[in-house]
Structure 1
Amino acid sequence: MASSTRWIRDLPAGAADEIDAALQAVRRKGLAWHQITRADFPLPTLDALFEDIAEELENGCGMVKLRGVPVARYDEAALQQIYFGIGTHVGAPVFQNRRGELMRGIRDEGGDLGQRYGQIEGKGDGKPFLSSYARTLSNGRLRFHTDRTDVVSLLCVRQAKSGGVSKICSSAAVHNAFLQRRPDLLEVMFQDFWRSRLGEESDKAETVYPLPIFGVRDGRFTSHYSLTYIEAAELVPGVPKLTAAQREAIDMLMALSEELCFEMTLAPGDIQFLNSHVTYHGRTPFEDDKAAGQDRLLLRLWLSMPNNRALPAGHEVLWGSIDAGVRRGGIAQVT
Structure 2
Amino acid sequence: MSIDSILAQPTRSPDIEWNPSFTWYEERVKFLSGLGLKRPTRVPKDFPNVVYEPWVWDGRDFRDEGQYVVHLQENDVAEIEEALATFKDRIGRLELADVNRRTFPLPQLKERLEDIAQELHRGIGFTVIRGLEPRNYSPLDNAIIYLGVTSYIAETRGCQDSSGNMFIHVKDLGNSIPNSDMRQSPYASNAQPFHNDVCDILAMYVQEQAVEGGESHLASCAKIYNEIAATRPDVIHTLADPSWIFDKHESPPRWNTRALLFNFGDKGPGFCFSRRPITGSPTSPRSTGVPAMTEAQAEAIDMVHFTAMKHRLTMKLKRGDIQLINNVAIQHARSEFRDSTIQRRHIVRLWLRNEQLAWGTPEGLERTWFEKYGESERRKIAKWNFLPGATRERILFRKDSCS
1:82 partner amino acid: I
Q: 1:162 to 1:205 in 2, by over 3 A?
A: farther
- Runs of 4+ off more than 6 Å: 112-116
CA contact (8 A) 2:253 2:289 kept: no
Partner of 1:275: 326
Partner of 1:98: 162
Q: Considering only aligned residues, what root-mean-square deviation do their CA atoms show, in Å?
A: 2.8
CA distance in 2, matches of 1:39, 1:177: 44
1:156 partner amino acid: V
Unaligned runs of 5+ in 2: 1-60, 382-403
Alpha-carbon deviation of 1:136?
1.4
CA distance in 1, matches of 2:131, 2:79: 13
Matched, 1:179 2:243: no
Within 5 Å, give how 1:1-335 maps onto structure 2: 1-3=61-63, 5-30=66-91, 31-91=94-154, 92-110=156-174, 134-192=184-242, 193-198=244-249, 206-220=253-267, 221-232=269-280, 235-291=286-342, 294-306=343-355, 307-320=357-370, 332-333=378-379
Q: 1:104 to 1:313 in 2, by over 3 A?
A: closer
CA contact (8 A) 2:159 2:373 kept: no
Alpha-carbon deviation of 1:101?
1.1
Please identify, of 163-172 and 311-320, the stretch whose mean Cα deviation from structure 2 is larger.
311-320
CA contact (8 A) 1:150 1:329 kept: no
Q: 1:315 to 1:104 in 2, by over 3 A?
A: closer
CA distance in 1, matches of 2:311, 2:252: 32
CA contact (8 A) 1:197 1:208 kept: yes
Unaligned runs of 5+ in 1: 117-126
Q: Which one has a larger percent strand, Structure 1 or Structure 2?
A: 1
Specify the SS of the correspondent of 1:320: helix
CA distance in 2, matches of 1:272, 1:95: 19
2:271 partner amino acid: S
Specify the SS of the correspondent of 2:319: coil
CA distance in 1, matches of 2:152, 2:95: 17
CA distance in 2, matches of 1:268, 1:287: 15
Alpha-carbon deviation of 1:71?
2.3
Q: 1:68 to 1:89 in 2, by over 3 A?
A: same
CA distance in 2, matches of 1:282, 1:108: 16
Q: 1:167 to 1:217 in 2, by over 3 A?
A: closer
CA contact (8 A) 2:100 2:148 kept: yes
Specify the SS of the correspondent of 1:89: coil
Specify the SS of the correspondent of 2:228: helix
Alpha-carbon deviation of 1:139?
1.1
Q: How many residues align?
A: 311
2:324 partner amino acid: F
CA contact (8 A) 1:25 1:40 kept: yes
Q: 1:90 to 1:314 in 2, by over 3 A?
A: same
CA contact (8 A) 1:93 1:303 kept: yes
CA distance in 2, matches of 1:331, 1:302: 17
Q: 1:265 to 1:244 in 2, by over 3 A?
A: same
CA distance in 2, matches of 1:9, 1:71: 17
CA distance in 1, matches of 2:310, 2:126: 18
1:222 partner amino acid: G
Partner of 1:120: none
CA distance in 1, matches of 2:77, 2:119: 23
Specify the SS of the correspondent of 1:50: helix
Q: 1:305 to 1:328 in 2, by over 3 A?
A: farther
CA distance in 1, matches of 2:279, 2:134: 38
Q: 1:113 to 1:174 in 2, by over 3 A?
A: farther
CA contact (8 A) 1:319 1:330 kept: no
Q: 1:54 to 1:206 in 2, by over 3 A?
A: farther
CA contact (8 A) 1:194 1:210 kept: yes
Q: 1:254 to 1:94 in 2, by over 3 A?
A: same
CA distance in 1, matches of 2:338, 2:285: 32
CA contact (8 A) 1:217 1:310 kept: yes
2:255 partner amino acid: V
- Give a deviation string over 1:99-141, Cα, whole Å, max 9, x none: 111112211111697998xxxxxxxxxx96x6xxx21111111
- Give a deviation string over 1:221-246, Cα, whole Å, max 9, x none: 22101110112498335533211111
Alpha-carbon deviation of 1:6?
3.4
State the TM-score, normalizing by the size of structure 2. 0.70
Q: 1:297 to 1:214 in 2, by over 3 A?
A: same
2:88 partner amino acid: R
Partner of 1:123: none
CA contact (8 A) 2:370 2:376 kept: no
Specify the SS of the correspondent of 1:72: helix
